């Protein structure tokens, strides 16, 4: 046995360059498919998190509207605006821009941390996402009064309230009037005097 020379008789075949390239290509294709599933799952998880936040904000906003409307003057003014709204829906949308009277504007105002007055109906930013509110008030329908067994006098003290919270991600900051169903959550309730 000569230590200075290699013994060529041993059959130690390695991987050829083509075999290595094929293995790398197959691994890359598998990695791309798996990563696309991970990215899709992360986007769906983020959407569901935004939807849960939106539903909680809708509940919070409905409680705020109920608290403000507990004042009989505010409730009567809301009822008057609903009844004077154009037919056939007789519905009004509560936003900072649609509050006609000063008493309603004042009822929905609060002070922020810096002491400036802001509308309770204004949007909020949480976790880098801006959430906006759209509150629709309309009179109760005949089916509602039958379902609850209300007389006409009591039915006038009941308004149907639909709160829609929609969100915009800063990257897609396109202002829209109507919230899209994919990026919004709605909650139905009633406002009672």
Residue 181 falls inside a structural domain: yes
Assigned domain for 10 exists: no
Side-chain half-sphere exposure of 183, counting CA atoms within 13 A: 18
Condensed to tens digits (0 to 9), the pLDDT of residues 75-113 reads: 888 888 887 777 666 677 877 666 666 777 777 777 777
Q: Is residue 2 part of a domain?
A: no
2-10: average pLDDT = 57
Note whether residue 59 is domain-resident.
Answer: yes
Domain count of the fold of the chain? 1
| Mean pLDDT across 102-130 | 79
Q: Which contiguous run of DSSP H or E holds residue 78?
A: helix 72-83
Residue 161 pLDDT grade (very low, low, confident, very high; cuts 50, 70, 90): confident
Question: Could you tell me the pTM of the whole model?
Answer: 0.70
What whole-number distance in Å separates Cα of residue 176 and Cα of residue 167? 10
In a domain, residue 11? The reply is no
8 inside domain: no
Residue 177 has pLDDT above 60, yes or no: no
Over range 40-49, report the average pLDDT.
Answer: 91
Please check whether residue 4 lies inside any domain of the structure.
Answer: no
Separation of alpha carbons 154 and 107, rounded Å:
24
**CB-CB contact of 118 with 112 (8 Å):** yes
Whether the pLDDT of residue 149 is over 70: the answer is no
Asked if the structure places residue 44 within a domain, the reply is yes
Contact indicator for 134, 93 with CB cutoff of 8 Å: yes
Q: What three-state secondary structure class fits 173?
A: coil
What's the mean pLDDT in 50-62? 91
Could you list the residue range(s) of the whole structural domain that residue 146 is in? 17-192
For 9, residues 6+ apart whose C-beta sits below 8 A from its C-beta are none
């Amino acid at each position: 046995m000569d230590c200075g020379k290699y013994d060529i008789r041993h059959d130690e075949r390695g991987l050829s360059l083509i075999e290595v390239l094929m293995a790398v290509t197959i691994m890359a294709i598998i990695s791309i498919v798996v990563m696309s599933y991970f990215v899709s799952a992360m986007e769906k998880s983020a959407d569901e998190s935004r939807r849960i936040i939106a539903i909680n904000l809708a509940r919070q906003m409905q409680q705020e509207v109920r608290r403000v409307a507990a004042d009989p003057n505010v409730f009567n003014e809301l009822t008057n605006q609903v009844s004077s709204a154009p037919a056939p829906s007789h519905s009004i949308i509560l936003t900072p821009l649609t509050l006609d009277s000063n008493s309603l504007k004042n009822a929905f105002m609060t002070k922020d941390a810096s002491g400036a007055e802001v509308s309770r109906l204004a949007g909020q930013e949480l976790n880098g996402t801006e959430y906006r509110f759209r509150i629709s008030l309309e009179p109760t329908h005949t089916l509602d009064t039958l379902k609850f067994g209300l007389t006409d006098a009591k039915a006038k003290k009941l308004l149907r309230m639909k709160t829609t919270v929609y969100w915009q991600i800063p990257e897609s900051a396109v202002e829209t009037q109507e919230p899209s169903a994919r990026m919004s959550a709605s909650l139905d309730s009633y406002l009672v005097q």
